[in-house]
Every structure is written in C-alpha cells, then in structure tokens.
Structure 1
C-alpha cells in the first residue's frame, strides 16, 4: 500500500536510534501492519473513530484477561506517533492500566522438588541457573561458555534487558553440575544449544529455543506435583523473594536483578523481609536446608 514501506523504515530507524531491540521492532511492526491491512492505509491516515473501532474489535476477540495483543497494538501505535512527530492525542489512544498483581513464588521445597524431578541434566542445570542466578528466559538462552567464571563464582549476563551487562553470583553447587554438564554435552559456544533455526533478516539462531526453555520448566513443575501456575519468570520472582528472606538488602537485589529503578524491586518487599548481607546465591541455603541428611 502507498507510503507503508517508507513508514516502516522510519519506524525501524526510530526504534533502533532509541536503543530498543530488534524484537521490539518486529513485535510492534506486526501490529502496525495488521491495522494497516485492515483499513488499507497507514495508521497516521486514520481518524480516532477508526482506531477505537479497531481496538474494540481486538478486545472482543481477545480470550486472555490481560488482552496482550490489544496492549501491544496501543504501544506500537504510540511509538509510531512518536516516530511521525505526532501527539498521542492525534489518535486519542487510551491509557493502559498496569496490572497490580503480586507474582507467583515457589517455596524452597518446591524448587528442590523441581530440581529432583528433572529427567535430563540439561534441564536441571537450566532450572538451577534460572533460580540460582535470577535470569530471564532470553538471558539464560544467551549464556555462553565465556560468560561463566568458576574461579570467581560469577556469571556475566551480557546485554540483558535494557542492554546492560551485570554479574550475578554462581553457587558452588551449580558449578559442580555445570562442569559435569559441559563435560558430557560438550557445548561449543552457547551453554544451551538447540537446532539451528532461521530468523527474520536471514540470521540463524543456534540457541536453545524459548519454547524449549518454557517446556522444561513447566514439565519439571508438573512432575513435581506443583499446583501453582509456574512459568520461566516464576523462578526469577522466587530468586528475588528467597534472597530477601535470606537477608539480602534491597539495593543489592536491585543490582542482581538488573532493574533500572528501585521501585520495580520494591515489589518483592510485599512478600519478603530484607536485611543487609553480602550478595550470595540462594542455591547455597537451598542445599543446606533441603539436601537429605543436612538437617
């Protein structure tokens, strides 16, 4: 359609210059393309009535309480207006209220059960890193052998969310498992490899897939008999909560999680106590409390 290609170029350029990821562009671009195809013209040529009618259609179609597709469409349109130098009021876009929900958190016994019910060493190490280091799904998938420092007992998280590097403690228990895993699986670059798949732009991805990580976590929770709704990020929430309960202070936790603002980290104060200790991995206290014969 007329002007869409040039619009998309400006959109991609704006997102790139502002330091947002390629996946952010691809996500928003899909929503911009959908609304453009629906009306046969670019969103900047639409009026507020058409935008509201389209958003209403998305709400009626959505089957999830969070209406993720609806929200991402609004976010994409906001970014597009910014790209075109137009105010949000140009299309009278609605405000998106943030859900105020406390995260699902597992007990130490439940984490221990998940580790014990992993059928593959790869999955046990994967879950150990997600919980023991508080990693996001993309961060654990992107771990390279070069990021592991066994001597200093640290993991370097390279270009995590917000394109920031950070170091997190690596439990001595996890180091033993990692050495065994590396010896057996012999990874060459990424710690967790997978089938090589093509991506947008002609790139190839040799990392363990996002769906693979999600399946491993859900399968371990299912085998462990956990009734809570468990996803990959649940282990990160549990990491943060357990560290606060074990005495770590909120400022140190903020740095370990890689949060930009302390307000984001303060969420965990609603479900845990905090103290003042040197950063450590919760896997250390997990083994001390839960390993057979330790009590």
Structure 2
C-alpha cells in the first residue's frame, strides 16, 4: 500500500531478491542403531510404538491418532486417516509388525485408540512418547540428539538404500512434492560408499 499511495510505484514480486533457504539434511540412524533403540524396551507397548513409527515411516501425530480399525490385517496395511495435508494414505505392514500387533492386542485390548493413555479412550500423549524414546536412548547409550522424526527419516533412507524407487517412498511418506523426498538421496550412503578414495592408491 505504501508503494502505491506514497511512491506511486508498484512492487514487482519476481524482482524481489529472496534469501537462499538453508539446506539442512535429515538426520539418519544406522540400521544397527535403530535395532538397538527398538529392542531397548521390555515393555511391549513402548516397543510397539517405536517399532511402528520406524516400520511405517509415521509422524508422531499419525501414530497417536491411530485407531484399531485403521489396521487391516487381511491386506497387511495400515490406513492413515487425515494425515498431514488432510490426505488419507496407506502404509504396508510387515509380517513381523503384524505379529507384534497381535501380541499387543491380546495384552492391552485397546478400544478407541490403538495406543491409549492412562485414561481409557484417550490417546497416548506426545510428551509420554518422547519420554519413551528418551528412555530407550539412555538404555542403549546412544548420545546423539535423536528425536522421533529421526526414525521416519531413517525408514525413508533405508528404503532408498535397499533399492526402493523414490516415487514409492514419496507415496509412503505422504509427501506432496517429490522435491521433499529427494532430500533423502543426499543422505543415502549406498552410492557414496562405492566410491574409492584416491588415498587408497597412494
């Protein structure tokens, strides 16, 4: 408005210089580190939550919003309702995870939410879930500042390293843009590890 009334000029949006966005690579754990974190808890509920985040590449909120009806054990899929961007999506369930889920069901018999808090019918809290991860890290002795989202990043990177097409990974993670998914190509070490250092020839 200032430019139009006081300066009698018009701003040309295309000519405005935008600062470059910082390129931050996602943090990724090795498969050994993931295994140690997932096996750290004796408590099946705690183990189940962390395992489901990694095995399906879930966001924290997606896990906590899960309901028993979202698990389709006949088709080996999990239905994520109203995921980020108000989009439904499906994620494949590994047979190992299905077995764990069956054990979990028998013990906890969840009703409204798959993972309920202390009060029946209420979802497990975000804060408590973060505490579950923190305890796992203490038990394993991993000192990296791991967050729950690192498990999702690790899932995507490990898929890429095992040869899964980037388009499928985009679909599994629920990314709108392939640009978002492409960032995992920068942290995948599969190709980089095959490059021979000239130092070896000295």
Q: TM-score range by the shorter chain?
A: 0.7 to 0.9
Aligned to 2:116: 193
The count of aligned residue pairs is: 175
Give the counterpart of 1:268 among 166, 184, 189.
Answer: 184
Structure 1 residue 153 corresponds to structure 2 residue 69: no
Larger helix proportion of the pair: 1
Give the counterpart of 2:27 among 58, 80, 104.
Answer: 104
Structure 1 residue 250 corresponds to structure 2 residue 163: no
For structure 2, list consecutive stretches of 5 or more residues without a partner in the other structure: 1-10, 191-202
Aligned to 2:122: 206
SS at match of 1:194: coil
Structure 1 residue 117 corresponds to structure 2 residue 40: yes
Aligned to 2:150: 234
Structure 1 residue 128 corresponds to structure 2 residue 44: no
Q: TM-score, normalised by structure 2?
A: 0.81
Instruction: Name which of structure 1's ranges 256-265 and 224-233 shifts more when overlaid on structure 2.
Output: 224-233
Give the counterpart of 2:132 among 213, 216, 228.
Answer: 216
Q: Contact (CA 8 Å) 1:104, 1:229: kept in 2 or not?
A: no
SS at match of 1:207: coil
Alignment of 1:28-177 (within 5 A): 98-177=21-100
Name the Cα RMSD after superposition: 2.2
Alignment of 1:7-46 (within 5 A): none
SS at match of 2:91: strand
Aligned to 2:5: none
Aligned to 1:259: 175
Instruction: Name which of structure 1's ranges 244-253 and 216-225 shifts more when overlaid on structure 2.
Output: 216-225
Q: How far 1:273 sits from its partner (Å)?
A: 6.6
- Cα–Cα, structure 1 residues 196 and 246, in superposed 2: closer, same or farther, change >3 Å? same
- Cα–Cα, structure 1 residues 109 and 273, in superposed 2: closer, same or farther, change >3 Å? closer
Rounded Cα–Cα distance in structure 2 between residues aligned with 1:196 and 1:96: 48
For structure 1, list consecutive stretches of 5 or more residues without a partner in the other structure: 1-86, 90-94, 198-204, 275-295
Higher relative contact order (CA 8 A, sep 6+): 2
Rounded Cα–Cα distance in structure 1 between residues aligned with 2:115 and 2:95: 20
Q: TM-score, normalised by structure 1?
A: 0.56
SS at match of 2:41: coil
Rounded Cα–Cα distance in structure 2 between residues aligned with 1:113 and 1:163: 34
Rounded Cα–Cα distance in structure 1 between residues aligned with 2:162 and 2:89: 22
